[in-house]
Chain A
Amino acid sequence: MSYKLQFAELLPYWNVLLYGLVFTIVLTIVSTVVGIAVGTAGAAARTFGPGWLGRIVAVYVELIRNTPFIVQLFFIFFGLPALGLKLSETTAAFLAMVINLGAYSTEIIRAGIEAVPKGHIEAGLSLAMSKWEVLRHIVLNQAFRKIYPALSSQIIIVMLGSAVVSQISAEDLTYAANYVASRNFRNFEVYLLVALAYLLLAMLTRSLLRALGRVIFKAR
């Protein structure tokens, strides 16, 4: 190989890359929080809601889980304006991420809810707890404890998947990489650096979520 890697050429662009990194982190955090909220509502609707609502949620979940994220993103960003709903790149990126994680977490949380023994729910109801109290203190409490690892890996998968939002020019880390590559043509160097940044981010997210899990689900 006669080519010499020149990482020094990336230095002038550190602020572009840093901005992209922050964007990716914020995108991940917001879509995680909102997506899990959507997922919880969806899972509750599927298990406790009326039949028609459960079916709508099931269709939503299967549609999202069986199509690529990039197609969902294009549909939202390019397709919805045809219906009169025009979104900025950033809004479309956030929306697509939330919808995507919402579907996956619905399925994960539903599995957790179904693993809660029926006797626990009956016991709660017989203690005159309301339906909401049973859901909050008995069902979701136990469900989240069980599915926390699965949910954590889904968050990391979604974080890595967010690289695709660069394709609608949302200014995430991959967008920054493409920008730098288009300026100095050091494609391989910048993509290698950014790939390692993602790797670090994934490892950090994993240990952070593990630590968070230990705090939230402290042994009783």
Chain B
Amino acid sequence: MLQFSFWDILSNLLIATQWTIVLSLIAFFCGGIVGLVLLFMRTSRIAPLEWFTKIYIEFFQGTPLLMQLFLFFFGIALFGVEVSPWMAATLALTFWTSAFLTEIWRGCVEAIPKGQWEASSSLALSYIEQMRYVILPQASRIAVAPTVGFSVQVIKGTALASIIGFVELTKAGTMLNNATFRPFLVYSLVALIYFCLCFPLSWWAKKIEGRLNVAR
């Protein structure tokens, strides 16, 4: 029988960690782009667009990420498209991330004093120009800390992709546990690797937040 040494377990987990990182990066960046589009819609003051984003956010923030993964996994298949766990996980995590980022960024946009909107509109800037040149440059400053903080949630969220069969860190842990019957060791290592990924981000987010408080 094949024997797994400690280093075999660790190196296999680290290989799988690459996929956790790739999935996190894709979800975060695609989610960020979708989130930015939604942010423009949400603050556009055009009623149908605002309603759409409100319902979108309510759905993705009000249902478990696991359910969203299932819905994408089985929902897309209804159209006769072959769905890989990879595709379902990417889509679900992207939409989930975008909903949260939109809400975070909306808070930052709303924190900008109303006078900035009024001043820029009196200078005949269009809505897009107001956002681009006046509001977003200021809002992005306060948005950095909560956005970095949320990236930790994205990394932790990718763990759920294991349930629909995407092989990342958690799934690799489960597979290794099935092969080695050393659950305590395997899951300790899995948790430790997640911690090493997430803790620096949490720490950084906290640091930026502290710096902003001083600047004010």
Chain A positions within 8 Å of B, measured between CB atoms, are: 1-3, 62-63, 65-72, 74-75, 78-83, 156, 160-164, 166-167, 174, 177, 187-188, 191-192, 194-196, 198-199, 202-203
Q: Tell whether, in the assembled complex, residue B177 and residue A78 are in contact, meaning their CB atoms are under 8 Å apart.
A: yes
- The chain A residue with its CB closest to the CB of B70 is A191
The 9 closest A-B pairs by CB, nearest first: A68-B159, A163-B64, A66-B198, A78-B183, A187-B74, A82-B184, A202-B62, A68-B156, A195-B67
Complex Cα spacing A70 to B194, Å: 12
- The chain A residue with its CB closest to the CB of B177 is A78
Find residues 70-126 in chain B having any chain A CB closer than 8 Å to their own CB.
70-71, 74-75, 77-80
Q: Tell whether, in the assembled complex, residue B195 and residue A79 are in contact, meaning their CB atoms are under 8 Å apart.
A: no
Interface size class of B (residues with CB under 8 A): 35 or more
Q: Is the interface of A mostly helix, strand, loop or mixed?
A: helix
Complex Cα spacing A50 to B157, Å: 35
Given A71-B173, A198-B64, A2–B80 Cβ distance below 8 Å? yes
Q: Tell whether, in the assembled complex, residue A194 and residue B67 are in contact, meaning their CB atoms are under 8 Å apart.
A: yes
Instruction: Give 29 pairs: A residue, B residue, CB < 8 Å, sorted on A.
Output: A62-B199, A65-B202, A67-B198, A68-B160, A70-B159, A70-B162, A71-B170, A71-B173, A74-B170, A74-B173, A75-B191, A78-B177, A79-B186, A82-B182, A82-B184, A83-B184, A166-B66, A188-B74, A192-B75, A194-B67, A195-B63, A195-B67, A198-B62, A198-B63, A199-B58, A199-B59, A199-B62, A199-B63, A202-B61
Q: Looking at the complex, which one of A62, A163, A167, A195 makes contact with B202 (CB distance below 8 Å)?
A: A62
Q: How far is the CB of B168 from chain A (nearest CB, A)?
A: 10
Instruction: Tell me which residues across on chain B come within 8 A of A188, comparing CB atoms.
Output: 71, 74-75, 77-78
Q: Looking at the complex, which one of A3, A69, A79, A174 makes contact with B187 (CB distance below 8 Å)?
A: A79
Q: Tell whether, in the assembled complex, residue B70 and residue A187 are in contact, meaning their CB atoms are under 8 Å apart.
A: yes
Q: Tell whether, in the assembled complex, residue A1 and residue B191 are in contact, meaning their CB atoms are under 8 Å apart.
A: no
Q: How far is the CB of A54 from chain B (nearest CB, A)?
A: 17
Complex Cα spacing A1 to B78, Å: 7
Q: Tell whether, in the assembled complex, residue B198 and residue A203 are in contact, meaning their CB atoms are under 8 Å apart.
A: no
Q: How far is the CB of A81 from chain B (nearest CB, A)?
A: 7
Instruction: Tell me which residues across on chain A come within 8 A of B183, comparing CB atoms.
Output: 74-75, 78-79, 81-82
